[in-house]
Chain A
């Protein structure tokens, strides 16, 4: 059962197809993690879902209803999807107290009297574990982690079903990050929320997600339940990402040279083929990677990898088990 689904989503920025035919399903009361390097299109998907960028083709559905429809019904539906952004320094109005900021979100989204709204502000502050005195303070009086809690409270004010968290801990210190991640997990358990959790940090995504989708150059190249994806990655790009993550005392491996190619001129066939460790530049006879797009034929599988030679890559899991440590 999924609460929010994305079907064949494409997003165009002028000549650039930033997102190209993406399918996603956010599990109900669960978390879909979305990882990829900068420029892969993950934030663009988030922004399209909440209507901040126009959708070229495709559809976003919530409980089976398309979100892009006009009119009151769709508006009420869209309210059920809220977003928390990366930078808590720019997402809060510096001239509004935390209480006013949360109250504003309540005014827009819920038919409550001023007194009821104030009660709700206080209970939202309780929910994100801020003291009630926070309501009267301005953003500059809070630390980064506290600001992110305010941003979360503000998103929760609309009583959402789905929360989109786009790099919400990327600008936070590691000790603060743990607090915010744990808070999001507690809120999910308590309120039955569904999350789309976007991050470039694989360890964080693994900690937060039930399902993970990996993006490369506007496409989903692999999607699977979290344990599967990390222990048995099938796409060489996923493997390269996992191997590059620094682990305490374990040497990370550079399997990927260069950087994401220019999205105005995506490579033919498989978009990853120029950098692929098992692709046509490394192994002979793999012309299919240059000629044929592997995207089709991945639909509906629990572990989908858009690769003609999916599963050929071993897992780092094995390497870790074999004890290849630095010391």
Chain B
């Protein structure tokens, strides 16, 4: 994704490639500014103005989004893809009853009657464990708690039985017990309806709860990708390692100081010539500072963009 800048255009997402298989749950992990949310918006053709998306291929349910006629693209995105955002209050219209909002997508894209759509909406609310759906459909968003609102936006996404749900920090504004409930609902949808999920979060521990594969982004690029077990137990990229060491968890010795990452993420207008992580990296070599590493395989399904890791791993 490109934004016009003072000099060269800024690329908050640069050369990102990945796929999410049918029925798969993939995690996308990164800190703010890593480009993870913009990647999701690019997939949904929701790039914020004046951002422009370029891609060799952007493919949803077998259809090439960038070459599709606008009306067919709208239909495809409206029915095959669902988005769940961080703040459910801002994705719901505060002035409309929840029922109306739930059926809008179904009426627009599938041209079904209001009564039928309402019946479906009731089923969807029940499937995300909202009790008393009949009454709930007539209520306004303010009458729901935060966790309930997020369930409503998930139910809304489910109305057209999408192939893929992109959930961008869906639990970040929620309490830990509610977070666990939402993650459980997502997993249940995946299990029962076979819906693929791209779960975007800053929290690798959360992502590891339900995904089979994870991607780690830094400064607009994917720096590591692999099966979740490999990422957790044998992370190859120094950034992935540093990220995990920096987070307190219930099993770490609490008397040992947390490891920190020196410096701060680079300014997108002023990226270093080589690896973007090199200035903060404890193992950077001369080459890291000169030449940006590409994402290369180092094991089954495991790819990493780091000169040092690529040297070391295949020999192990």
Chain A residues in the interface with B (C-beta under 8 A): 37-38, 143, 145, 173-179, 181-182, 185, 200-204, 206-207, 226, 230, 240-249, 251-257, 259, 320, 326-327
Contacts and interface: CB of A to CB of B under 8 A. Distances in A.
Given A174-B243, A320-B251, A254 B180 contact: yes
Contacts of B180: 243-244, 246, 252-254, 256
B5 interface: no
Given A37-B178, A203-B250, A247-B249, 15 more contacts: A38-B146, A178-B247, A178-B260, A203-B247, A206-B248, A241-B176, A242-B250, A243-B180, A244-B177, A244-B179, A245-B250, A246-B208, A256-B177, A257-B181, A327-B229
B10 interface: no
A72 B180 CA distance: 49
Contacts of B232: 248-249, 327
A324 to B, nearest CB: 13
Contacts of B178: 37, 259
A134 to B, nearest CB: 14
Contacts of B181: 254, 256-257
A251 to B, nearest CB: 6
B31 interface: yes
Interface in B159-181: 175-181
B100 interface: no
Given A175-B260, A182-B257, A249-B229, A206 B250 contact: yes
Contact of A175 (B183, B242, B250): B242
Residue picked from A176, A240, A246, most chain B C-beta under 10 Å? A246
Interface in B243-270: 243-244, 246-252, 254, 257-261, 264
B260 A248 contact: no
B207 to A, nearest CB: 8
Nearest to A175: B261
Contact of B264 (A143, A204, A207, A257): A143
A252 B205 CA distance: 10
14 contacts: A37-B178, A145-B264, A174-B31, A175-B242, A178-B246, A178-B248, A200-B176, A203-B250, A207-B248, A207-B258, A254-B181, A259-B147, A327-B229, A327-B232
B153 to A, nearest CB: 16
A200 B171 CA distance: 13
Nearest to A259: B145
B100 to A, nearest CB: 24
Contacts of A256: 177, 180-181
Given A244-B179, A252-B180, A173 B32 contact: yes
B31 A247 contact: no
B217 to A, nearest CB: 13
Nearest to B176: A244
Chain A CB within 10 A, most for which of B31, B228, B258: B258
Interface in B176-199: 176-181, 183-184
Contacts of A181: 248, 258
A255 B178 CA distance: 10
A241 B177 contact: yes
Contacts of B175: 37-38, 200, 259
Contacts of A204: 248
Interface of B: 31-32, 129, 145-148, 175-181, 183-184, 202-206, 208-209, 228-229, 232-233, 242-244, 246-252, 254, 257-261, 264
A179 B254 contact: no
A257 B180 CA distance: 10
Contacts of B209: 246, 251-252, 326
A226 B250 CA distance: 11
Contacts of B252: 207
A320 B249 CA distance: 13
A230 B203 CA distance: 21
B250 A247 contact: yes
B246 A174 contact: yes
A230 B248 CA distance: 14
Task: Give the 9 A-B residue pairs with the shortest CB-CB distance, closest first.
Answer: A207-B248, A178-B246, A37-B175, A178-B258, A244-B180, A173-B31, A246-B205, A175-B261, A203-B248
Nearest to A206: B254
B208 A326 contact: yes
A59 to B, nearest CB: 30
Contacts of B258: 178, 181-182, 207
Contacts of A248: 204-205, 208, 232, 244, 249
B293 to A, nearest CB: 20
Contact of B31 (A175, A253, A259): A175
Nearest to B129: A257
Contacts of B249: 203, 247-248
B245 to A, nearest CB: 8
A202 B176 contact: yes
B109 to A, nearest CB: 32
A173 B247 CA distance: 10
Contact of A254 (B148, B184, B208, B233): B184
Residue among A174, A175, A179, A247 with max Cβ neighbours from chain B (10 Å)? A175
Contacts of A143: 264
Contacts of B251: 247, 320
B35 to A, nearest CB: 14
A33 B178 CA distance: 21
A255 B260 CA distance: 33
A177 B246 contact: yes
A182 B203 CA distance: 19
Nearest to B148: A259
Contacts of A201: 176
Contacts of B228: 249, 327
Nearest to A240: B177
Nearest to A320: B251
Q: Name the residue in B147, B183, B184, B205 with the highest tally of chain A Cβ atoms < 10 Å from its Cβ.
A: B205
A326 B181 CA distance: 17
